[in-house]
Amino acid sequence: MNGAQSLIRTLVDAGVDVCFSNPGTSEMHFVAALDTVPEMRGVLALFEGVVTGAADGYARIAGKPAATLLHLGPGLGNGLANLHNARRAHTPIVNVIGDHATYHKKYDAPLESDIEPVAGSLRGWIRRSGSTADVGADAAAAVAASQAPPGRVATLILPADISWGDGGVAVPPIPPRVPHAVADTTVKSIAEVLRTGEPVALLVGGPACREPGLRAISRIATATGAKPFVETFPARLERGAGLPAIERLGYFAEQVTEQLQGVRHVILAGTKAPVSFFAYPGKPSDLVPEGAQAHTLAELDQDVVGALEALAEEVAPGTEPVLQQPHRPDLPTGPLTAQNWVDVIGALLPEGAIVSDEANTSGVRLPAATAGAPRHDLLTLTGGAIGQGLPVATGAAIAAPDRPVVALQSDGSALYTISALWTMARENLNVTTVLLNNRAYAILRLELLRVGAEGSGPKAMELLDLSRPDMDFVKIAEGMGVPASRATTAEELAEQFRRALAEAGPHLIDAAVPSLL
Amino acid sequence: MNGAQSLIRTLVDAGVDVCFSNPGTSEMHFVAALDTVPEMRGVLALFEGVVTGAADGYARIAGKPAATLLHLGPGLGNGLANLHNARRAHTPIVNVIGDHATYHKKYDAPLESDIEPVAGSLRGWIRRSGSTADVGADAAAAVAASQAPPGRVATLILPADISWGDGGVAVPPIPPRVPHAVADTTVKSIAEVLRTGEPVALLVGGPACREPGLRAISRIATATGAKPFVETFPARLERGAGLPAIERLGYFAEQVTEQLQGVRHVILAGTKAPVSFFAYPGKPSDLVPEGAQAHTLAELDQDVVGALEALAEEVAPGTEPVLQQPHRPDLPTGPLTAQNWVDVIGALLPEGAIVSDEANTSGVRLPAATAGAPRHDLLTLTGGAIGQGLPVATGAAIAAPDRPVVALQSDGSALYTISALWTMARENLNVTTVLLNNRAYAILRLELLRVGAEGSGPKAMELLDLSRPDMDFVKIAEGMGVPASRATTAEELAEQFRRALAEAGPHLIDAAVPSLL
């Protein structure tokens, strides 16, 4: 058994049986080893940002890591933005990076590159395999590290000669670490805060964004009057009819300020105190209202849901959560607008859908329109590095082949990782992409106003304009093997969305929505 | 004058007047400042790998740096692969990266990311502007650092508040450092090596790949019998009729071994001793033949061309260089083959063309077919990080709007930075892309064989296959605003290539070439 074979066998034994791959020469023994471990599925992507984003989307849905296969420092660089998003989502990923053979590095061949400092920027776990005999143990450690609460990117660097060398040993999985329970005294002291009668906001994130956590939050809020919020960009938020509908904290500081207006206490569970996404001249970065106190019920690496349930038992015994009633918008008509496209999605979103949302400014009205749709999972742009939506949808569809995946994708951010469409076609994934084509970096037009940039004029506006030339996403999608159509009215969008959902495999709808600015 | 304005004014005063940009919110004051400095041209790209690759291609042709504009760590990550290629090309780039406001960083907002360690992997120059008053001086230092021989990526990190703050000061350019002359004694000792009568190879790179260096090499070789070679992947190689035709060192170790067979001395000027691109089991990494000695005439940061000219005066006074005679292949006919497509290019390549070559295995016969074509510049994949060809062509076309640019691009590597086509359309660049579509990562099929990977079977082959689904580059290009056509025969390719060159603006030809494997 060579090193690569021991690596793949160990991963599979630990439950990691999908590897999103964009290999090069130094990874050829890993590629060859796929044929010797039939349980491992290799999924090819044509760009590393698709590899890493798909691994993120996969784990958010599968609840276990996928592996990646990247080619030296440049391959890691190309995958870094979506690994950044995965880091912020606390997604477990086993990030395998091939490197030159150990004895070859000193020659400084053209692809020689520093891998550790780049991977180190992810603040996760890193190991470089030093001998073929250790690769299995390294792989088992990487899986365990990736899954240790709250989850992280575990990077395993695999030199080519370590990979091709003989003497690999498959190693059994390391039992996963479980999150530590929150102390009773902490739960009780938070209960005291809730009993003061002062205005309280309860802000949750991470694992609390799924049904058990949401039910606990709803009970606490109902019994105490605390205002509950979900963090701005949850990795995976369960929502829709039959689940408590918890409002997300806004993206813009002004929204958050309004949401937290008058609050004297902010209770945090599985997330950090709210801060502005960006800094703006003369505006605060820290969004905890002045004079309010932040209290932490549970850190992300603790048992967040258990703590919320304990708190609910403490302050809301016998109280039931308030569940969202089924409600869908009527199917709208007429040319597409910022409102009616979200109504189409809300009206037609199928049961059990997974929604990958990178609609950005086009999607500001989406939460309301889909609140009462059938139960679905929402995957969001956790780290703010755009180009995540299509890869995350790809990975989610691999994780849940029987569930419909809907990618809501803006034009500006689509181009970073557009070749995800090709992988969707290759793997015949049930992903319906609605491409919100407003022909602009609309969010940046807004930000240009918000930052109060002086002197801005036609050259600045031109740098935020995507209409010269217009992109034809029907052609781009078809060019990558994904059937596509164009919608300019709500009726067309509804008809095409319905049809795409009814047919197996990927589809793209190029939806001509107006820019808000 | 705010910080951003002082930055752009300082860059322009130092001759840096093109900024390839993919901005985000933290760069909005920079974007706004473009309107206050009319001499600076902002060129928008939809992905940072296009930004950095275009800056590389620009500087290779313009002989001076462009600036980039990137968005925090994820933007740098996306741009890293082509910055790696630029590093290996010794291309001067002023790499501007926006960051959060200084006071905002401690809040660890979602896009907070380590920039320095990632940029540090480029082994260039890095500075983080610490105050608005210093931004101008930082910019001048960055330009000087980027241009100090032999050229490098100079990264300037610009926090948002430093950018928007008042009190910026434009700073005059720092006079460029010139390369140090090589000592006479070194030239004379190398001349002694050439006079031994023992077999000598003369391997040159960097600035020696342009006319003056090539003429000196040809004279030395003619007079002494030394075998002259150009490094495998020159940043910019001048070639064609009227110039000395110097063979490039091969990509595969076996080729180099054959080229250097019997050599007792390898003289190096502006490049390092040859090493294998990758390591292979049981094959050497160091390609200097056993028993041969390497001698350095000139390091890359020295006056390489001056040293070669001095050496030529020493060993070849009065000897004229041997110049390539004009010669073109006949226009071929029939279905496209690995040979006839290069003959079409050789037959029709226009005078003064700039060729960006990322044809990879499809292009192995290209050098011979274009050797006697009219004089042209060849830009190659210096760092081995694929996805460079289209961005480099984009930047070269910005640098030389009156010259025809030909991008020879393989399918596998095209998808990494495919949105370069959109920037070509937006800027109406005279780039003709010939997309060699062999429906495979053909080079990896070859490498899979070469590394002797055991156990490889259908799963491995599938990971190197790009035919499921086939990509339709006509549609992809048209979707991004570039007129496109498909060629399956040599006649079609010739007709389409001629027409594309005759019309202004970008074109793409999807050429169905066979895979070598």
Contact residues, A window 217-276, toward B, CB-based 8 Å cutoff: 233, 272, 275-276
Q: CA angle at residue B439 from B436 to B444, to 5 degrees?
A: 95
Within 8 A of A471 by CB-CB distance, chain B residues are: 422, 479-481
Phi, psi of A95 (to 5 degrees): -100, 95
Closest by Cβ to A103, choosing from B285, B383, B444: B285
pLDDT at B456: 77
DSSP A375: P
H or E element in which residue B311 lies: helix B304-315
pLDDT value for A362: 85
Check: CB of residue A311 under 8 Å from CB of residue A305.
no
A446 touches chain B (CB under 8 A): no
ipTM of the complex: 0.97
pLDDT for A245-268, tens place per residue?
999 999 999 999 999 999 999 999
**pLDDT per position as a tens digit, B114-159:** 999 999 999 999 999 999 999 999 999 999 999 999 999 999 999 9
Burial class from Cβ neighbours inside 10 Å (0-12, 13-18, 19+) for residue B120 reads middle
Residue of B nearest to A381 (CA): B110
Q: Is the CB of A480 inside 8 Å of chain B's CB atoms?
A: yes
Phi, psi dihedrals of residue B41, rounded to the nearest 5°: -100, 120
Give me the residue from B80, B100, B285 closest to A74, CB to CB. Answer: B80
**Averaged pLDDT, B473-495:** 98
Q: Nearest Cα to B391, choosing from B86, B73, B40, B143?
A: B86
How many angstroms separate the CA atoms of A214 and A141, rounded?
32
Residue A508: partners with Cβ closer than 8 Å, 6 or more residues away: A421, A432, A433, A434, A435, A473, A474, A477, A482, A483, A484, A485
As a whole number of angstroms, the distance between CA A430 and CA A425 comes to 9
Average pLDDT over residues B236-253: 96
What number of H helices and E strands is found in chain A?
20, 18
Q: Do B454 and A2 touch (CB under 8 A)?
A: yes
Name which residue leads in pLDDT, B440 or A301: A301
CA geometry: angle at B151 spanning B89 and B62, to 5°?
A: 75
B279 CA: distance to closest CA in chain A (Å)? 6
Full set of structural domains in chain B with CATH: 3-164 (3.40.50.970), 184-315 (3.40.50.1220), 340-511 (3.40.50.970)
Nearest CA to A89 out of A425, A384, A480, A322 is that of: A384
A47 contact residues in B (CB cutoff 8 A): 387, 415-416
- To the question of pTM greater than 0.90 for the whole model, the response is yes
Q: Taking the mean position of all CA atoms in its chain, how far away is CA B8?
A: 25
Tell the burial category of B262 from Cβ atoms under 10 Å away from its Cβ (0-12, 13-18, 19+). Answer: exposed
Give chain B positions within 8 Å (CB) of A475.
Answer: 475-476, 478-479
C-alpha to C-alpha distances, B514 to B79, B363, B440, B511, nearest whole angstrom: 32, 12, 10, 9
d(CA B200, CA B226): 5
Query: What's the pLDDT tens digit per position in A6-37?
Result: 999 999 999 999 999 999 999 999 999 999 99
Between strands A237-239 and A376-379, the pairing is antiparallel
Query: What gap in Å lies between CA A84 and CA B112, rounded to an integer?
Result: 9
A387/B contact by beta carbon, under 8 A: yes
Listed in sequence order, the DSSP H helices in A278-336 are: 304-315
* pLDDT score of A3: 98
Please list the residues that pair with A42 across neighbouring strands: A19
In three-state secondary structure terms, B384 is coil
Residues of B in contact with A84 (CB under 8 A): 73-74, 77, 111, 113
Instruction: Kindly list the residues from chain A whose CB atom is less than 8 angstroms away from the CB atom of residue B74.
Output: 80-81, 84-85, 383-385
Report the gap between the CA of B41 and the closest CA in chain A (Å).
9
pLDDT > 70 in chain A, percent: 99
Q: Where are the alpha helices (DSSP H) in A282-437?
A: 304-315, 340-348, 366-370, 389-399, 411-414, 420-426
- The total of other beta-carbon atoms located within 10 Å of residue A303's CB is 19
CB B132 within 8 A of CB A281: no
pLDDT of residue A106: 97
Q: Which two tokens stand for residue A497?
A: 């969305």
The per-residue pLDDT for B440 is 84
Average pLDDT over residues B166-173: 98
- Confidence grade of residue A290 (pLDDT, cut at 50, 70, 90): very high
Which helix (H) or strand (E) segment holds residue A326: the answer is none
- Considering only CB atoms, which chain B residues are within 8 Å of A205? none
CB contact at 8 A, B513 and B437: yes
Q: Does the distance separating the beta carbons of A161 and B279 come in below 8 Å?
A: yes
pLDDT for residue A454 is more than 70:
no
Lowest mean pLDDT, pick from A476-480, B35-39, B455-459 = B455-459
Residue A470 forms contact with B (CB below 8 Å): yes
Mean pLDDT of B56-66: 98
CB interface of B with A, residues 69-128, below 8 Å:
73-75, 77-81, 83-85, 88, 100-101, 103-104, 107-111, 113-114, 117-118, 120-121, 123
Answer yes or no: do B479 and A471 touch at CB < 8 A. Answer: yes
Chain B: nearest CA to A158, how far in angstroms?
14
Which residues of chain B are within 8 Å of residue A427 when distances are taken between CB atoms? none
pLDDT at A447: 86
- Taking only the tens place, the pLDDT of each residue in A387-446 is 999 999 999 999 999 999 999 999 999 999 999 999 999 999 999 999 999 988 888 888
Q: Pairing relation of β-strands A431-436 and A405-410? A: parallel
Sheet strand arrangement including A376-379: A237-239, A376-379, A354-358, A405-410, A431-436, A507-511, A484-487
Contact B77 A84 (CB under 8 A): yes
Q: Which two structure tokens, joined as six digits, stand for A12?
A: 């599979």
Distance CA A171, CA A134 (A): 9
Nearest residue of A to residue B39, measured between CA atoms: A459
Dump the DSSP string for B335-376.
B--TTHHHHHHHHHPPTT-EEEEE-GGGGTTHHHHHTTSSSE
Structure tokens at B134: 């210093």
Cβ–Cβ below 8 Å for B460 and A31 = yes
Say yes or no for a CB contact (<8 Å) between A476 and B473.
no
Tell me how many residue pairs between chain A and chain B have CB atoms under 8 A apart.
338
CA A316 to chain B, closest CA, distance in angstroms equals: 33
What beta strand segments (E) does B231-381 contain? 237-239, 265-269, 293-298, 354-358, 376-379
| Beta strand B484-487 pairing with A237-239 | unpaired
pLDDT in tens, A119-170: 999 999 999 999 999 999 999 999 999 999 999 999 999 999 999 999 999 9
In this prediction, residue A445 carries a pLDDT of 86
**Which residues of A fall within a CB distance of 8 Å from B471?**
422, 479-481
How far is B172 from chain A, CA to nearest CA, in Å?
23
Contact A109 B276 (CB under 8 A): yes
User: Any idea which of B72-86, B397-411, B456-470 has the lowest mean pLDDT?
Assistant: B456-470
Query: What value, to the nearest 5°, has the Cα angle with vertex A247 and ends A241 and A250?
Result: 140
Is it the case that residue A453 has pLDDT exceeding 80?
A: no
Q: Does A498 touch chain B (CB under 8 A)?
A: no
Scanning A174-213 for CB atoms below 8 A from B yields none
Looking at B98-238, list the stretches that DSSP marks H as alpha helix, in order from N- to C-terminal side. Answer: 116-120, 135-147, 160-164, 184-195, 211-224
What is the residue-averaged pLDDT of chain B? 96
Q: Give residue B324's pLDDT.
A: 98
What are the C-alpha distances in Å from A338 to residues A174, A365, A436, A494, A509?
Answer: 49, 8, 10, 15, 16
**Which 400-439 residues of chain A touch chain B by CB within 8 A?**
412, 415-416, 418-419, 422, 425-426
Determine, for residues B469 and A481 on separate chains, whether the beta-carbon distance falls below 8 Å. Answer: yes
Interface of B with A in 282-301 (CB under 8 A): 285-286
User: Least CA distance to A2: which residue of chain B?
Assistant: B454
Instruction: Read off the pLDDT band of B454 (50, 70, 90).
Output: low
Q: Which of B459, B475, B480 sits opposite A34 (nearest CB)?
A: B459
Asked if pLDDT for residue B217 goes beyond 90, the answer is yes
How far is A499 from chain B, CA to nearest CA, in Å?
Answer: 22
Residue B517 has pLDDT above 70, yes or no: no
- Nearest CA of chain A to the CA of B21: how many Å? 8
The mean pLDDT of chain A is 96
B26, B278, B472 ranked by CB distance to A100: nearest: B278
Judged by CB atoms closer than 8 Å, whether chains meet at B84 and A107 is answered as no
Q: Token digits for A166?
A: 């003989």
Are the Cβ atoms of A47 and B415 closer than 8 angstroms?
yes
Q: How far is CA B318 from the centre of its chain?
A: 35
* Residue numbers in A near B462 (CB within 8 A): 42, 44
B21 touches chain A (CB under 8 A): yes
Question: Using 50, 70 and 90 to split pLDDT, how confident is the model at A517?
Answer: low
Question: How many residues belong to chain B?
Answer: 517
Quick: pLDDT tens for A266-289: 999 999 999 999 999 989 999 999
pLDDT digit string, tens, across residues B7-44: 999 999 999 999 999 999 999 999 999 999 999 999 99
Measured distance CA(B208)–CA(B187) in Å, rounded: 15
